[in-house]
Chain A
Amino acid sequence: MRSFINHIEWLLLVVFLVTGVAFAAVLQYYLNDWSLIVTDAVVSAVVTAAGVWGGILIVKAYPTRVGILIYSLLAGIAVGVVVWYADKTFLKWWLGTDKDYITWLHASLLPRLVLAILINCWLITLAATGQRAFALEEQFKNLSDVATLHREAELFKLRQQLQPHFLYNSLNSISALILIQPDKAQEMIGKLSDFLRNSVKREARDYIPVDEELEYIEAYLAIEAVRFGDRLEVLYNKHFTDDSSIPPFLLQPILENAIKFGLYGRTGHVRIEMDIALKKAYLIIIITNPFDAQNRPPSGTGFGLEGIQRRLYLLYGRTDLLETKQEEDFFTAILKIPQNNV
């Protein structure tokens, strides 16, 4: 309904013409002087149109969407009274010399007042509902965007989990362990099962406890640690309360990145640090991983973190919640999750 407000000049023209013609049509029953009829009709129509315009501006400036209907109704009545008064005063001043007209004008004041209030209330509430519908539509669109993205992320995750590389490579490691270290093989199967069970059972919730997300991620990292032997070391630093929450599937892509560039992309020992702390109203997660500057992807791919950035924007309407830094051979991602329960 934005178009309704945007084409206000057309609306006002229509209001002007309709009121003008209506007034003229009614007036010609009571007055027989055409100049009087036209003057009265034009003045009334102009004042009414101006009133409607002012009313719509008032509604537009109204800060919240709550109770806008009552507000616009009141505005309509107020504007109607003002319009009626302005109309009366102007006509008196303009056509004051005609005694008969003035007498008639006084007699017609009540119907004029009623008419002015009705027209204004009707048009202004119409504008208000239009605006409300527009706002609701926006909100609805935003919500469905969030839902779609969430679904996409989930599907992506599913594909990722059921997808070859990680699973097949893990199975290959298990196969090797069976031959050389059967005990460890069993342990690895346990970890892999934990990971798979976790990813299958997770429902689509908006927020999950951080602990739950971490359990999942730890299982994933533990498997990678077995696959790559002593090469991978993960340091956790946790300072948060039990009720800290996080949107699901948000942390994982960042860690996958850290693994991809830190572990798959390099040789030698790799240390990934994960620092999770509750600070004021935010859960702040800092993930640091080494990476090979030579192996950097071309600028613009943004390490595949755009998806997270976009989800954060849709969830919180902010673009400053994910920050990344590249310092020499280290890559740092800083994620801030607003906690509404604090």
Chain B
Amino acid sequence: MYKVILIDDEPLARQLVHSLLQPYKEVTIVAECSDGFEGFKAIQEHQPDLIFLDVQMPRVNGFEMLELLDNPPSVIFTTAFDEYALKAFEAHAVDYLLKPLTRERFDKAVQKWLQQAAAKQQPQVQNLLQEKVYDGYQHRIVVKDNGMIRIIPAQDIHYIEASDDYIKIFTKNGSFLKKSTLSQVEQSLDPKQFVRVHRSYLIPVGQLQRIEPYEKDSHIALLHCGAKVTVSKNGMAKLKTLLGW
């Protein structure tokens, strides 16, 4: 028996998937959730084999939710999202279904998944998150904090530091770790507001208080929060173009 969770903020959309899943006796719906936050909790609790996931949802959206999962289940996206984004995750999810859903297309997706599941292939959803799937920039970062989900608005970020496989986000409420790379975060945030001043540092321009020369070819930036970060030669050039010095 396969466990399935439906995550969509529209009750009717969930009902439709529910009805379409009826003929499949080998699956059972263990939970229905109306946002990414609930979805995250339900996935941790039930460890489902497959989720049907909408992208645009309140609080925590579909992508953000996937980012937070250490071991994401197979995903079939159900969304009215534009094709631009679809292209990005086409290759990675089991399948994606465009709303309005049709029985034919739905069955195809489920069959595909059943085959994969029988062959014990785990599609790599994680890869999807390496790509920029959003149109436009993000104004927040979602992190896991003691098993809880925390949403950090971009304007609360003091600076972000790379540390091995993680990034460390410094805010006025302390620092948070997230499994990600600095380049990924750099891509998702507005480049007019966030500058990669160093291999290991991404800072919001608004945090910049003073820049002092340091060693040969490098500078030290003093931030409003009191922290000091190294600015590389390259980073200095970026700052100069951005601020028009």
Chain A residues within 8 Å of B, Cβ to Cβ = 164-165, 168-169, 171-177, 179-180, 226-229, 264-267, 292, 294-299
Contact = CB atoms under 8 A, between A and B. Distances in A.
Given A169-B10, A173-B13, A298 B56 contact: no
Interface of B: 9-13, 15-16, 19, 34-35, 38, 56-59, 80-82, 98-102, 139, 151, 153-155
B155 A172 contact: no
**6 nearest A-B residue pairs (beta carbon):** A176-B16, A168-B80, A172-B99, A171-B100, A172-B100, A176-B12
Given A172-B99, A294-B153, A298-B155, A179 B11 contact: no
B139 A172 contact: no
B35 A229 contact: no
A174 B100 CA distance: 9
B99 A266 contact: no
The B interface is mostly helix, strand or loop, or mixed, namely: loop
Contacts of A172: 10, 12-13, 16, 80, 99-101
B15 A180 contact: yes
Nearest to A263: B58
A269 to B, nearest CB: 12
A227 B100 contact: no
A176 B13 contact: yes
Contacts of B9: 228, 264, 267
Contacts of B34: 267
B80 A164 contact: yes
A297 B58 CA distance: 13
A339 to B, nearest CB: 38
A227 B12 contact: yes
B174 to A, nearest CB: 17
Given A165-B56, A229-B12, 10 more contacts: A168-B80, A175-B16, A176-B12, A179-B16, A229-B11, A264-B57, A267-B34, A292-B58, A295-B58, A296-B153
Among B10, B35, B155, find the residue whose CB has the most chain A CB atoms closer than 10 A: B10
Contacts of B59: 265-267, 292, 295
Contacts, number: 79
A265 to B, nearest CB: 5
B98 A299 contact: no
Contacts of B13: 169, 172-173, 176
Contacts of B10: 169, 172-173, 227-229
Contacts of A174: 100
A171 B80 CA distance: 10
Contacts of B155: 298-299
A224 to B, nearest CB: 10
A177 B98 contact: no
Nearest to B15: A176
B139 A298 contact: yes
A200 B13 CA distance: 27
A169 B139 contact: no
Among B11, B34, B80, find the residue whose CB has the most chain A CB atoms closer than 10 A: B80
Given A168-B80, A229-B11, A267-B34, A180 B153 contact: no
A337 to B, nearest CB: 32
Contacts of A266: 58-59
A174 B11 CA distance: 12
Contact of B12 (A165, A177, A296, A299): A177
A229 B56 CA distance: 17
Contacts of B102: 175
A164 B38 CA distance: 26
A226 B15 CA distance: 13
B80 A180 contact: no
A298 to B, nearest CB: 5
Contacts of A226: 12
Contacts of A179: 15-16, 19
Contact of A228 (B11, B16, B82): B11
Contacts of A299: 155
A169 B19 contact: no
A236 to B, nearest CB: 24
Contacts of A165: 56, 80
A222 to B, nearest CB: 14
A294 B59 CA distance: 8
Contact of A264 (B11, B12, B19, B56): B56
22 contacts: A164-B80, A164-B81, A168-B99, A169-B10, A172-B13, A172-B16, A172-B80, A172-B99, A175-B100, A176-B12, A176-B19, A179-B15, A179-B16, A228-B9, A267-B34, A267-B35, A267-B38, A267-B58, A267-B59, A296-B153, A297-B139, A298-B153
